[in-house]
Amino acid sequence: MPDWISAIILGVVEGLTEFIPVSSTGHLLLAKTALGLPPGFWDTFIVLIQLGAILGVVALYFRRLWAVLVTLPTSQRSRHFALSVLVALLPGVLAGALLHDVIKDVLFGSPRLICVSLIVGGMVLLVIDRRAPAPRETDAMALSLKTSLLVGLFQALAIIPGVSRSGGTIVGAMLLGVEKRAAAEFSFFLAMPTMAGAFVLDFWSNRQSLHGDRLGLLALGFGVSLVVGYAVARVMLDFVSRRGFAPFGWWRILVGAAGLVLLSRT
């Protein structure tokens, strides 16, 4: 299969899965394995194209984010929101900086671990969707700093492929009494600086190998993930408000189980 088709497929997978709690990285790594793509460049590709989907959400929330930015000097609400995102960001930044090599060299090379993480995470989603505490916080832009920090600790678990960054933040937020829609929305906001940081770190680490055709493949996957991610983010919150997270839990279990079956045969 030509590399440009693989880039498109991975871009579509990223855009479809970045904002739903099914682990975009886990799905991308399983897709990479199914496509027979070698490690190295394609592992870097998987990390870098995730920023494309994130930029789709930036476009979707641009007015609200711009309003926060321009009112930072005058609005206590805007400053609190910015601080809450920074506080939630810290655990993931520390975990990513300390464990970057382990993540890329060990965890990225374990499709069986990804499948198990998908199944376990799916079961957790099913339980939380039914038994989460009654919500005490309903505004994603006004979470307490304590809640934000604890949500950030849950996000740090997503260094394990298959756990899901959005899944970790959403489950953590709901356990802490954040309403479902607000939990998903805060996950969107937290994704922006998280994935921007991951992009810069991985791009800089691999800058010497990213040239020529590889840059073209990266640009293609990046663009596809942006367009698809924007479309998914537009419908995600309304879907969650109506159906909850149970469908994503079942999907994780299905994909993880199918992956284990396929791995046992190869």
Mean pLDDT of 144-167: 86
178 phi/psi in degrees, rounded to 5: -95, 135
pTM value is: 0.82
Residue pLDDT, tens place only, 9-27: 999 999 999 888 888 888 8
Res 105 pLDDT > 70? no
Under a CB-based contact definition with an 8 Å cutoff, are residues 139 and 78 in contact? no
- Residue type at 4? W
Q: What is the pLDDT of residue 16?
A: 92
Residue pLDDT, tens place only, 47-77: 889 889 989 888 888 999 999 999 999 999 9
27-30: which pairs have CB atoms within 8 A and are 24 or more residues apart?
A: 27/255, 29/108, 29/111, 29/114, 29/161, 30/111, 30/114, 30/115, 30/255, 30/259
Half-sphere exposure of 166 (CA within 13 A, CB side): 31
Rg (CA), the chain: 18
Both tokens of residue 205? Answer: 């680490």
Q: What is the pLDDT of residue 133?
A: 87
Half-sphere exposure of 238 (CA within 13 A, CB side): 5
236-244: which pairs have CB atoms within 8 A and are 24 or more residues apart?
A: 236/19, 236/20, 236/184, 237/181, 237/184, 237/185, 240/180, 240/181, 240/184, 241/180, 241/181, 244/129, 244/180
Residue pLDDT, tens place only, 206-245: 777 777 788 899 999 999 999 999 999 888 888 888 888 8
Residue 37 CB burial class (10 angstroms; 0-12, 13-18, ≥19): buried
Half-sphere exposure of 60 (CA within 13 A, CB side): 23
pLDDT band at 155 (very low <50, low <70, confident <90, very high): confident
64 phi/psi in degrees, rounded to 5: -65, -40
Q: What is the pLDDT of residue 107?
A: 60
Q: What is the pLDDT of residue 178?
A: 94
Interatomic CA distance for residues 248 and 46, integer angstroms: 21
